[in-house]
Amino acid sequence: MSHDAREDSQERIFALDIGTRSVVGLIVEPVGDKFRVIDCAIQEHSERSMLDGQIHDVVAVAKVISQVKARLEEKHGPLTRVAVAAAGRSLRTRRVRMEMEIAKQTAFSKEDVLTLEFSAVQEAQAQLAQELNEQDVTRYYCVGYSVVNYYLDGELIGSLIDQRGEKAAIDVIATFLPRVVVDSLLAALKRCGLDMQALTLEPIAAINVLIPVTMRRLNIALVDIGAGTSDIALTEEGAITAYGMVPVAGDEITDALMNAFLLDFPMAEEVKRALTAHESVTFRDILGMEHTLSSTEVVAAIDSDITQLAQKIAEKILELNGKPPQAVMLIGGGSQTPKLTEKVAGMLEIPANRVAVRGADAIQQFVDTHPLINGPEFVTPVGIAVAARRHPIRYVTVTVNETPIRIFDLRKMTLGDALIAAGLDIRRLYGRPGLAMTLTVNGRMKIIPGGHGTPPIITRNGETAALDTPIADNDSIVVVPGRDGDEARVQVSDLLDEEELFECFINGESHRLGPIALVNGQACPLSTPLQDRDIVEIRMPRTVEEVLRETGHTAELDSSASQVRFTLNGRDYALPRCDIQLSVNGSPASFTERVRSGDHLAFAVKALPLPTVREIIPPEEWVQEEIKVHFNGIPVTLPTAQVAITMDGKAVSADEVIHDGAVITVKVTPGEKAPLFSDVFRYVDVSLEKPRGEGVSRLTTLINGEPASFQTELKNGDKLELFWE
């Protein structure tokens, strides 16, 4: 091979379309911006080694790939690298809504929007894993996602950037490819000595070559009708929005022909292909009889089967899209089924010209056509080759926090994709806001927000990076999660507005006073730290007591409130120690008197002497039995019981001064005998001396006019007389 030929072969692309029934191999070379098909080889599977686009028998599929490769190598030399596609029917799409509270943060940034988008993709990935009982959510490659809508406080909005509100939300459709599909493809290629040059998805490959950028905004259904299945992809806004599969396709039409005309499978396939190309068809049935029928007659015999195929396809399109699409493109070998386009259009209730079979001839990138490459079954193989040229990056291997991660590059991969592949929870990377505090301030609720959480520090190869930073092979990514915000902290002084002042005079001295604070009803300094749900009142001092306390007269206030406490016969008593005289603007006042700016207060504190036992004993404790008599006309009271007084256990007289905390008892003991005449002398001042003078010789004592002696017992009301005669 010449040097020029070698250079030419290096430019050539070997593309494989591994289908359910057959493997198609193409060799395509770029010519400027377009492509030319050089060669083509098709080989059918000899056994059921493929099911629904998934390789079930790697060895058997590798054998067929080797046969295709060998046929092409005969003409074009060794082939070592190949472009392949994963079957679209193995894709999983999920639509999810993700919400985020944004009331406590400043305007929404681009990074916040990306965080919301990637969080939604992760949520879709987690839902898919849960549905399929997968423990490892990273077993699914995200091969694309599109934002359907943004919402702010429940209303649709075009963009969230720089918006403020209570709640942001996003609707995302994410498409995933199970890793097992890719791994089995890699295994089959490895057995054939082939390296994967590029990987794409079958519907994406077809869309890339069939639908130009100018049409990407349209809502189009792409239906790939193969042998066993019909794959349906829906596009809108340039992205695949949904994917589905119906298990009816070309084989159903072949089966219908076999039943209608008693044909074997190969003959039925031949008749099916001839229907679109010729007006009449000739065939031999299994009994050996030859028939020649018009194509119209043959189609009429299988009309109900064609209707059923069209119905299944239309129903799936409506189920996935929710409404008829703007256009339907049919590709794949089964798309050539007669009357299929008009039947699909009728069931979708769209104009017939909006449903069309698109063959390889519709692919605008070609310079030349190839005699074998013209039907709709070649759209996907050619698309795979084109995709290989357009997406030169194959696998990206990066490290995330020193863990190696292999990412499939099915689109422009970003740092956010690497974090998802590494299984990092995007939402947990951002520090959460600190707990807020709720207070009631002067009757109104006030919320003190906590500190803002910090964003994560993300570096790529040592340089600061963002979630949408593109990544390249061998990048080293380090993610340090953000720190949570501090809990809300506030003290009373932080709640003050502009400080008011008012002036008053105390004992002639001027004072300027600021506001006072009551927390849960208790007076507190302005430096008091507050707790969640505290009830705070902030106001100017109102009463005499508040003014005196705020001006530093606490000692006088405390002394005026001080008391002497004692216990008398088991009951507690308290007496003031001081007497305080208060006046406001010259008028007597109490501590609760209202004070206004400019008022004059006067006060004086006078200490009171400690009382004696006699002074503090209430009348009910001082009960004594007594009798009343008259002595020489003077009333005299005579006790008939004994009074015993103790203080702290010691006997004291009634004139003893008490002290704080004293324990006093007063005990009354009834007398054993009635009082005698002589007992009166203890209560009256009388002289018993004989007076000088003549004729005075005898001391006379009378009780109620009757003679008596000093030992005579007295009774209540007695009249006593004593005189010399």
Domain CATH code at residue 318: 3.30.420.40
Do 243 and 352 share a domain, yes or no?
yes
Pairing of strands 516-519, 522-524: antiparallel
Q: Is residue 665 part of a domain?
A: yes
Q: Is residue 384 part of a domain?
A: no
Per the CB < 8 A criterion, the answer to whether 143 and 193 are in contact is no
Closest Cα to residue 338, out of 295, 281, 372?
Answer: 295
Number of compact structural domains in the chain: 4
Last residue of a domain, one of 321, 347, 363: 363
Per the CB < 8 A criterion, the answer to whether 366 and 34 are in contact is yes
Do 223 and 352 share a domain, yes or no?
yes
Last residue of a domain, one of 608, 629, 647: 608
Residue type at 31 in one-letter notation = V
Q: 273-291, pLDDT tens digit by residue?
A: 888 778 889 999 999 999 9
Q: Which two tokens stand for residue 161?
A: 């950037």
Q: 501-548, pLDDT tens digit by residue?
A: 778 888 888 888 878 888 898 888 888 888 888 888 888 887 887 787
Do 464 and 596 share a domain, yes or no?
no
> How many Cα atoms are found within 13 Å in the side-chain-facing hemisphere of 153?
5
Q: Is residue 345 part of a domain?
A: yes
Select, from the ranges 87-101, 175-189, 259-273, 515-529, the one with the highest average predicted confidence (pLDDT): 259-273
Do 507 and 576 share a domain, yes or no?
yes
Last residue of a domain, one of 555, 580, 608: 608
Give dist(CA 166, CA 103) in Å, integer: 4
Per the CB < 8 A criterion, the answer to whether 230 and 337 are in contact is no
Per the CB < 8 A criterion, the answer to whether 722 and 632 are in contact is yes
Per the CB < 8 A criterion, the answer to whether 220 and 325 are in contact is yes
Average pLDDT over residues 80-99: 80
Do 327 and 344 share a domain, yes or no?
yes
Closest Cα to residue 354, out of 510, 212, 218?
Answer: 218
Provide the pLDDT confidence category of residue 342 given band limits of 50, 70 and 90: very high
**H or E stretch including 650?**
strand 650-651
pLDDT at 383 over 70: yes
The contacts of residue 139 (CB under 8 Å, 6+ apart) are 129, 178, 179, 180
Per the CB < 8 A criterion, the answer to whether 632 and 623 are in contact is no
Do 593 and 633 share a domain, yes or no?
no
Do 249 and 348 share a domain, yes or no?
yes
Residues paired with 246 in a beta bridge? 230
Q: Is residue 42 part of a domain?
A: no
Do 276 and 330 share a domain, yes or no?
yes
Q: Is residue 373 part of a domain?
A: no
Task: Decide: helix, strand or coil at residue 358.
Answer: coil
Domain containing 406 — which CATH number? Answer: 3.10.20.30
Comparing 43-47, 297-301, 379-383, which segment has the lowest mean pLDDT? 43-47
Q: Which two tokens stand for residue 723?
A: 């005189």
Q: In terms of pLDDT, which residue wins out, 176 or 281?
A: 281
Residue 459: which domain range?
393-431+453-483
188: which DSSP letter? H
Provide the pLDDT confidence category of residue 314 given band limits of 50, 70 and 90: very high
Give dist(CA 470, CA 472) in Å, integer: 7
Confidence (pLDDT) at 325: 92
Q: What is the largest CA-CA distance in the chain?
A: 194
Q: At what angle do helices 250-261 and 265-277 cross, to 10 degrees?
A: 110
114 burial (CB, 10 Å; 0-12 / 13-18 / 19+) is: middle
Do 549 and 677 share a domain, yes or no?
no
Q: Is residue 457 part of a domain?
A: yes
Select, from the ranges 6-15, 332-341, 414-423, the one with the highest average predicted confidence (pLDDT): 332-341
Q: In terms of pLDDT, which residue wins out, 69 or 33?
A: 69
Q: Is residue 253 part of a domain?
A: yes
Do 414 and 521 share a domain, yes or no?
no
Q: Is residue 23 part of a domain?
A: no
Give dist(CA 469, CA 253) in Å, integer: 50
Do 316 and 251 share a domain, yes or no?
yes
Do 460 and 511 share a domain, yes or no?
no
